[in-house]
Amino acid sequence: MQTPDFSIEFFPPKTAEGADKLRAVRAQLAALGPRYFSVTFGAGGSTQQGTLDTVLDIMAAGQEAAPHLSCVGGTRASIGAILQQYKAHGIRRLVALRGDLPSGYGGMGEFRYANELVEFVRAETGDWFHIEVAAYPEMHPQARSPQDDLRAFVRKVQAGANSAITQYFYNADAYFRFVDEVRAAGVDVPIVPGIMPITNYTQLSRFSEMCGAEIPRWVRLKLASFGDDSAAIKAFGLDVVTALCERLLAGGAPGLHFYSMNQAAATTALWQRLR
């Protein structure tokens, strides 16, 4: 079996103090030897400069970095300019997304779906970028059906994506089934599970509600029973997520992508357990 690739996701900090904190977190996580760090991009371009600054900071420290790029609300001209800027900085990897516009934001822009962005990136920059796209083993919440969502995923790969990172999930079977269906559709790109450590039940419930990730009932009941006991939540969460990662890797997942939430502790603890 090939050695799995690990990657770690950050969001761009909003303040200089946040940027300093993230540098310390990144230095700690870099010691674990991830393949690359990715940095999210606020839909509508709200974090455009912050994403680039964070990526450049990571590259200056000698690590590979991949900016996310969401196209919703953007135009061909605005997205084209960002691509040229990334290219000029020597960035070689991108996570290409549609994004979700904040409510009250004006128009949708010139791109409707992520496959159109992937097509555009290839038309503008050829093979310069390694393109990652998003995948949803438990179905994207706006999809009409799992079959429609699978077809949408296949279109992104046919448009030129090299690999995929999934939305987080806690049901390993949903991932394995999704990968089987993608393979049956003739698509063979690596699909790396996105891993969300469990550290805060209230926050996790809110996120999961929004992005359509299911927290299994038994896990939810256990987490709720711990109340404010954050140490118990973290210890139980570490057990659950370690077991999930072990099962995914044993079942052939090509790597893991950690949603770090800009914190080092949970990802480090998971990593150490896995080793």
Closest contact distance (angstroms) between CB of 181 and ligand FAD is 14
Round the CA-based radius of gyration of the chain to a whole number and report it: 18
* Residue 7 within binding range of ligand FAD, rule CB under 6 A: no
Contact with ligand FAD (CB under 6 A) among 36, 41, 129, 271 = 41
Q: Is 138 a catalytic residue?
A: no
* Residue 260 within binding range of ligand FAD, rule CB under 6 A: no
Say which residue the tokens 């004006």 belong to: 106
**Rounded to the nearest 5°, which phi and psi values hold at 147?**
-65, -40
Secondary structure tally for the chain: helices H, strands E:
10, 8
Contact with ligand FAD (CB under 6 A) among 63, 70, 163, 260 = 70
* Residue 101 within binding range of ligand FAD, rule CB under 6 A: no
Contact with ligand FAD (CB under 6 A) among 134, 182, 204, 248 = 134
Contact with ligand FAD (CB under 6 A) among 32, 143, 185, 232 = 143
Kindly give the residue spans of alpha helices, DSSP state H, lying in 41-198.
Answer: 48-60, 76-88, 114-125, 146-158, 172-184
Residue among 47, 28, 51 nearest 38 (CA): 51
**Rounded to the nearest 5°, which phi and psi values hold at 59?**
-65, -35
- The residue range among 29-37, 78-86, 138-146, 230-238 that interacts with ligand FAD, by the rule CB under 6 A, is 138-146
Closest contact distance (angstroms) between CB of 202 and ligand FAD is 21
Q: Which residues are catalytic?
A: 9
